[in-house]
Every structure is written in structure tokens, then in C-alpha cells.
Structure 1
Amino acid sequence: MVRNTPNAADRHLIRVAAASGLELSAARLERWRAAGLIPRPGPDTLIRIGSARVYPLETAALVMGLLECAKRCRTVDDLVLLAFFNGVPVPAPPVRVALARTYFGSYLQQRDEEQTVLDSVPAQHREADPPEYNWAEVAAELDMARHRYAVRQMRANLKRRRDLATATRAELDERVRGVLIWLNAPALPTHDAVFMADLRSAMAFDAAPERSRAAWLLAALCHGQQRAERRETCGEERLATLLSVPDDDLTGLREQVSESLDAMWFMATEGRRRHYDIESAATARLAGGMLVEWVSARQVYPRGSRPAQVLVDSLRSLWLIAAETHGEGRAAFQRRTRRPGH
């Protein structure tokens, strides 16, 4: 229950906030205490200044940081994540709770979307292909919907090829879908000459970078998973892994995620921007999701790997594979990348 009258330590925090032009109420302080963001007043959390007992500078700085972030947030979880990714010294337990609640809500939603797409494929087609291929088709279908700019770049790059110059948009989309299916599969069919030709054309590694940076980013993210050790996981295991992360490691993980966002932003903006600002609740949720993903994903990469380096190495690997491989031909490619009903 919120106290009607703030105590002396709270009144001191309210005055400090007012001196910085920020409005702070006793009710808000109590809500933050209930969420574990700031400590309750006591012998171990207050210091004496003259005859008064007040919060130390560290707590005052924490409260000021929370107030700045609170202007852009509607929920406590959003506040915790935005403050955390902006360097506010939020205690680890509420950070871990906010990460879990934010990530696993979207995780379950994504799983439902994937299952819906999979269920839309006729049963006879699902049964004819291995599960890995079926899920690669699902991932490709969702990539087509979620990454429209990358798809548009791939489509435009393919159309520059002489034999595809008169292809319809539907035909080009099928080619893009075929590329995405195999980028989401356990491994690239490097022995398939037709697929590799489509991959090289869609990526346009030999053309101006602005034609393909979004496509490169999507392809590098997919190929990065192909280069990792393949291991099955589930939501329960991911949650257990997150909860086992030591408090001190959360800061290092935050730095790795920020570094990865900077690398992706540099690529997505065609080299114009080097730093990605996490300045809204939405971007904080994005960063939080990446952190939870990396907590599990880092187990299937060599020890000491960082997500930004994985991204760069994956793009370099993709370029080398596309430049060096040859393969078996159109018929095999068409058999493996057929769409249901085609």
C-alpha cells in the first residue's frame, strides 16, 4: 500500500529530482520499490548526512535514470529494459524478470505463427519431406512477410540477370522463396548449381552494396545458424538457461547485444550509421529478445563468440561459398524447392 506521507529519505529524493526538472511522487517510489527497482529505506540502504538519513548517490542516480526512461514507457517491464539497455544500474533480478516476461510472450506467439503456416501445408506434402525441410519452408514463408525490404532487394537483383529479365513478380518471388528455404535449412545445398546461381544473384555480392545490404543482413543471420552446432531446444530450457545466468554476466551480455545491433544497423543503413540507439520501449524489447536468444545460442558457438562477430563471419562465409561453389543443376533444385501444389 502506498504511504500517504513520504518519509525523510523519499522527500530528499523528490527534492533531488525536482532540482533536475523531474517530477517524482511518493506513490511512484513505492511502485518501484514493490518491483524491486530501488531499495526500501533501512540501516543498510541509507547514509547519514548531518542529522538526516538519506539514500546514497548511487540510489539517487538510479532514480534519476528511471525517471528519464519512464517518460517513454507504459509498463514496468518496458521501463526496466529501457533503463537497463541505457546503462542505468537497475538491479539484476527485475531485469531477468522483465527479459523473461517480454521474450516468452513473443516466443509463444511466434511458435503459434509457425505452427499456423506449417498446418497450411497439405499433409501429403509435409509427410513427403523431412521435418527440417518443412520447417525451413515455414521460416522462409515468414521471412517473406517480415523482411519485405530484403525480399525486394533479392527480387530486384535476380531480375537483373539476363535469363530472368522478363520474369514475372510471382516467378521472382518463387526464386527468392527458394533461396530463403535453403538459408533456413540445416545446410546450404552447395552441390546445386542452380540454387547457388540464384543465391549469388539474389545477394549481388559483386554489385553496389546499397542494392543488397538488407538482403545480406537477413542471409547472414540465417547462415549464422547453419554454421552453429545444431541442437534442439524448447521454451522451458531457454527459461532455465536465462535464470541460470549470473547477475554479473547480464552487463556483458548487454554490451554484446548492443555491439550486434550496431553492426546490423551499420549494414542496414548502407554504412551511414554506426550506432543503434535504444531509445524507446519497442527497441528495448527488441534488444531484450536478442539477449535472451543469445543466452541460449552462445552454447552452440565456439566459446568466447560474440553475436556481432558471428554476423560478420557468417556474411564472409556466405560470400566465399557463393563465389567458389558449383553443382548439379536445375532439376535437382526444383525437386527440392517445390512448393505444395506445384
Structure 2
Amino acid sequence: MALRRSSIALFVVGLMLTAAAAAIKYVAVPNLSKLPADTNETALFESTLRQLDPTTFGLDSGTPITIDRSLRVVQAEGDSAILTSTAITHLPSGDATDVHTFAVSRVDFTQTTAPDGVSVEDQRGGMTMSFPKNPTTDDALVYDSVTRTAQPVTYTGTTMFAGREVHEFTGTTAAPIADPAVLGPLKAGIAVLDPSGVGSTMQREIVKTLIPALPADRIAAVERALETAPDAVPLTYTSTNRMDLAIDSHLGAPVNFTQNQTTVLNIASGDTTVPFLDLYQVRMETSDASIRMVAEKVARAERLLKIAGFWVPLVSALSGALLVVVAIVRRRPVHHG
């Protein structure tokens, strides 16, 4: 049966458009939602730092500080990326820089295995940059670099924030401080009170002299602990950390993050650990400018994914189907007698 060449061409083009629709939806769109290899995002956090007042041994009224945080992909291989998180805290005494490196999946932003020869921090399954796309409302884990633990947060509700629908999560965790860059200076500071203990112990008599300065709800427990404590009372350092997150319900990005983290000096007696002095407290939250920036970026990304994932494949598929139908209808050439 003779077929029109134009019909054959239309048929082939129609099939190609139909195949292209599938390729766009199932290949191109997932690649668009991956963590880009050139990711370099920044955010500003407005904070208040309260420190131990050496005259009262309580926390002072607080000093406003700011924290610049950047997340940068330094290496990308396939679906894995090496991510560097840098926080620069602007203090009255100068800037302090804290850097951590993680291996994350470019697909769902969860922890993954680092390439051979690359050293990364074990985030213990906790989130370091973003929740997965279309996040659930199940309990989640968020990594805390101070304690090097993945800390649980619980869903509390869904609301509108900065023009975006967000899932809200909250959690409070107490854990030993594990980051050497944090623990070292803490011990050095306490060693000033009792050089013999190098920040790991404190003479019982020195502890007793500080009891009158303690909050009322701590005095009795400290006195009981001292009854059985050795002359060199062991010290531990813990963090009590509260986190509140507003997570975009579509793309999983943190639109807002607030944190209240208190560093506590504890005394130990046997198996008992008793809070003694609060050394520091940092309260931080995402700045209004950074909230707007994230919300606008997420909205743009969502529009792009919707166009690429729905409208472009739909138009391509419909156009392909139409061309196939036209090709079939016009398949036979017209013979003139």
C-alpha cells in the first residue's frame, strides 16, 4: 500500500514528540530537581549571645550578633555531592568561623557515602540542608554539629508562612558536647577557675563557693551530688538545644529556622549528672531578608518544575498524538482518474 511521504514524516515526528514528552517528564524533570553541582547558597541569622557573667555566675543580658551561613557543593559525582557548611559568627571580639563537610544525595538531600579519599562528618542520618521534596509529616532528624548528634523534631502543624505552605517541626534535645572546636575553649575557660583540673574537674570546695550564685531550682541537687563526689569533682559539658523549623511542603526547603541552644556545665557524682552553670546561650533565627529570598527562590523553582513536568510534556504529547492521527488520516495518496 502506497503511503504519502508527508504522512510518514508526520507519523515519525508525532512518535518523536510523544517519546520526548516521556523523556522530559521522567528524565529531564528529575534532573532539574537535583541539587545543582554549582550550589552556593547563603543565609543570614539574627542572634543574641548570652555569656556567663564572672561577677554573678549567671548569664548576662545578651549581646546582638549575626551569623552568616553558606552551603556550597565542592564536589559532585553522579547523584552524590560533597557539601561544605560554613558559619561565620560576627562577635564583638571578632569573627569566629565554623566549617563542616558532609556527603549528601543530590536527589533527596539525605546522607550518602562519600567518594573514596574524601573525609566527611557523619551526620548520623540527620538533615543538614533540606528535607526531601514533598516532605512527609513524620518525625524527622536534624543534625547538630555541636553535639554531633541527629536530633529529633516532631511535626506540629501546617500553615502559610512568607507566602508558602510550610510544615512546622519542633524539638528539644540535651546531649554531650562533642565538637572539639567547641569543647576545647569551654574547658580552657573553666580551667581559669581551677587550673589543676584543666577543665575536666573542679575542686569540691570551689564548687561549694559557687552554690549561692546558682538558680534556686539547682541548689538542692548540686548539694546532694557533692555529698558523694570526690574532692576533684568530674565535669561534663552538655547542650540543650531547641529547634523550630518551617519546611516548604512542596520542595522541602527550610523557609525559616530558629534555634535556642544553651551550653551547660555539669558536675558528676557516680552515675548522676547534675546541671551546675549555664555558660552560654545562643538564640538565632533566619533574618527577614533571608526568609524572603528562600521563599521567592522556592516559588520560582516550583513554577519551573510545574512547567517542565506538566505543561511541556502535555503539549508535546498532545502535539505528537495529533500528528500521528493526521498521518493516519492522510496515509493514502489521492489518485485522480
Flag whether TM exceeds 0.5 (same fold). Answer: no
Instruction: Identify which of structures 1 and 2 has the higher relative contact order when contacts are C-alpha pairs closer than 8 Å and 6+ apart.
Output: 2
The higher radius of gyration belongs to: 2
Structure with the bigger percentage of helix: 1
Structure with the bigger percentage of strand: 2
TM-score (ref. length: structure 1): 0.18
